[in-house]
Amino acid sequence: MIVRMPSRRLELDVIDRRLLNALQADGRLTNAQLAEHVGLSPSAVHRRVRRLEEAGVIAGHALLVDKAAIGRPLDVFVEISLVSQSVERLSAFEAAVADCPEVMSCHLMAGEADYLLHLSVADTADFERIHAAHLSRLPGVARIKSNFAMRTVHETTVHHLDETP
């Protein structure tokens, strides 16, 4: 689980942007490697990274796992509509969906569905199990529509930041 801290608006200079681009490409870079990349001392890099973390610009650190390698190669995108959009309904749904370990992400949507969920599953039988055990039991659900991805064409975790002054 990634815990996101609220970020405050922080002006990012060219060095901050270079640091963020480098860390997004390889989060295991050492301060010495980062320092060489951006032209600062390792201690100055450490202070800048700490400042970016404290401001919430760096929201956390994660390891990316190959879904196929762990037996969950199938992506399913599930649209969920609730019976109402009252604050109580939305809060109850959001608390319950956070307890569903198979849900990789959940987004409150504008449009036809109220929520869009992303799940990584082993196969259709695994999704059927998750549907019966979790999705169909979420509070306030009026409709569930599932879409299976045939293959992932493009996926990234990188937010490229322009490094020009």
Sign of CA dihedral 140, 108, 4, 127: positive
Instruction: Give the chain's mean pLDDT.
Output: 93
The mean per-residue pLDDT over the stretch 88-98 comes to 97
- At residue 1 the predicted structure's pLDDT band, cuts being 50, 70 and 90, is very low
Residue 122 CB partners (closer than 8 Å, separation 6+): 71, 72, 73, 74
Could you tell me the domains of the chain? 14-54 (1.10.10.10), 68-148 (3.30.70.920)
Tell me, letter by letter, the H, E, C secondary structure of the chain: CCCCCCCCCCCCCHHHHHHHHHHHHCCCCCHHHHHHHHCCCHHHHHHHHHHHHHCCCCCCCCCCCCCHHHCCCEEEEEEEEECCCCHHHHHHHHHHHCCCCCEEEEEECCCCCCEEEEEEECCHHHHHHHHHHCHHHCCCEEEEEEEECCCCCCCCCCCCCCCCC
Say whether pLDDT at 85 is over 90.
Answer: yes
Sign of CA dihedral 150, 74, 81, 136: positive
Q: Which amino acid is at 45?
A: V
- At residue 6 the predicted structure's pLDDT band, cuts being 50, 70 and 90, is low
Q: What is the pLDDT of residues 105-123, one digit of tens each?
A: 999 999 999 999 999 999 9
Question: What pLDDT score was predicted for residue 10?
Answer: 87
Question: What pLDDT score was predicted for residue 9?
Answer: 76
Q: What is the pLDDT of residues 9-25, one digit of tens each?
A: 789 999 999 999 999 99
Question: What pLDDT score was predicted for residue 53?
Answer: 96
Q: What is the pLDDT of residues 31-68, one digit of tens each?
A: 999 999 999 999 999 999 999 999 999 999 999 999 99
Question: What pLDDT score was predicted for residue 3?
Answer: 45
Tell me the whole-structure pTM to 2 decimals: 0.85
